[in-house]
Structure formats: C-alpha cells, structure tokens
C-alpha cells in the first residue's frame, strides 16, 4: 500500500511537471529533462510511468478533460436554472485556465496536436453539456424557442476558445473573466426572449464555487 501511494504521488508530480513544461515550451519545445526538473523526480521514475513524451502529453490532456467534465457534471447537478448553469460553466472553465497549469497545458497541447494526430473532438463533452443545458433553457422559457440547442453548444465552446486565446495574446489572460462576461452578455442578449430580459442581469451574475473551495 505504501509503494502504491508513493507511485501514485510520483505519477501526479510527473503529470504536473509535464504540464508546466508543456505550457511553457509547447509540446515540441518541451524536453523530458525539463519535465523531470519541473516534477522534481528522475528520468527513471518518468519512464516507469510513461514510455514516451506523447503518452505523457495525452495524460495531461486526459487530466484536463477529466477536470472539465467533473465541473460540468457538478454544475448540472446544482439548483440553478439551465441558462444560469451555462454561465457558470463558462466562468468555471475560465477559472480553471487561470488557476491550474494542467488545464492550461492540456488546452495548449490539444491545439498543437490537433494539427497532426491529436485527440478527436477534444471538447465534445463540454459541447454536449452546453447543448443539453440549452435545450433545458428553451423548455424553461429562458431561451427563444427557435434556438438550435446543438448549434449553440458548439458556438459557446468555439467562442470561449477564441476569447481565451485573444485574452492570452492581449493581457496574458488577466482580463479573461471580464472578456467571458462580455461574450455571454452579447450572446444571451439576443437569445433571451423579451419577456425574460428582466432576468438577464441575474443570469449573467450566476456563480458557482467548486466543492473543494467551500
């Protein structure tokens, strides 16, 4: 049991070290020496858990996706309205990007590897979750009945990806929460029925705190 716990801890350190290196240098630019240095482990330990740099990169991507999926599922289980949950999901994704190197690295490596042989449909769970919430928001009367829920799910994730990249270029993501708020404000202003416009400020102010922080 002690050996298993030690191996689990070492593996987690290697994944975090890889995230730091991949975020800083990119997939092609990061060397395994830099991963080992960031992780504070040895090359032997690295090769015990991961045989190639590609397998390590894919684990970083998988770890990022697990965190994103867990957040979407937890927010969906909350008592908020469906449209408020869409807002919460977008802001939680922004929080993860700002606070977690694994998330930042996972997104960077996903973009880089997608040009060659990267993960297929890497944001499918997020897109599906947003589409599911959009359908519920239509049923609840907070989105127009003519909104295509699937198309909206794709658009939200696409728009968020563009906003966070532009925020990175402009301010190193210092303004990301504000830019995400503006994205949602512009988008939802045209999709909420006139009879529900009075609720828009409340919807846009919806917040969610991860259980680990409560």
Secondary structure class of 8 (helix, strand, coil): helix
| pLDDT for the residue 4 | 75
Q: At what angle do helices 149-171 and 124-139 cross, to 10 degrees?
A: 120
pLDDT at position 1: 62
- Better pLDDT: 153 or 115: 153
Give 186-207 pLDDT, tens digit per residue.
Answer: 999 999 999 999 999 999 999 8
Pick the more confident residue, 63 or 116: 63
What is the pTM for the complete model shown? 0.86
pLDDT at 147 over 90: yes
* Per-residue model confidence (pLDDT) at position 7: 82
């Amino acid at each position: 049991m002690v050996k298993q716990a030690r191996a689990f801890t070492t593996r987690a350190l290697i994944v975090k070290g890889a995230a730091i290196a991949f975020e800083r240098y990119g997939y092609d630019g990061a060397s395994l020496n830099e991963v080992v240095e960031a992780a504070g482990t040895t090359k032997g330990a690295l090769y015990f858990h991961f045989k190639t740099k590609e397998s390590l990169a894919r684990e970083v991507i998988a770890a990022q996706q697990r965190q994103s999926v867990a957040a979407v599922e937890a927010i969906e289980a909350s008592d908020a309205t469906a449209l408020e949950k869409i807002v919460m999901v977008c802001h939680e994704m922004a929080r993860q990007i700002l606070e977690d190197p694994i998330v930042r690295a996972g997104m960077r490596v996903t973009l880089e590897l997608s040009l060659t042989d990267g993960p297929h449909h890497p944001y499918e769970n997020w897109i599906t979750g947003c589409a599911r919430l959009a359908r519920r928001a239509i049923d609840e009367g907070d989105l127009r009945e003519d909104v295509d829920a699937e198309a909206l799910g794709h658009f939200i994730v696409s728009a968020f990806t563009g906003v966070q990249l532009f925020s990175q270029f402009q301010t190193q993501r210092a303004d990301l929460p504000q830019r995400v708020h503006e994205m949602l404000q512009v988008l939802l202003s045209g999709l909420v029925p006139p009879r529900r416009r009075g609720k828009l400020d409340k919807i846009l102010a919806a917040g969610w705190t991860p259980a680990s922080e409560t």
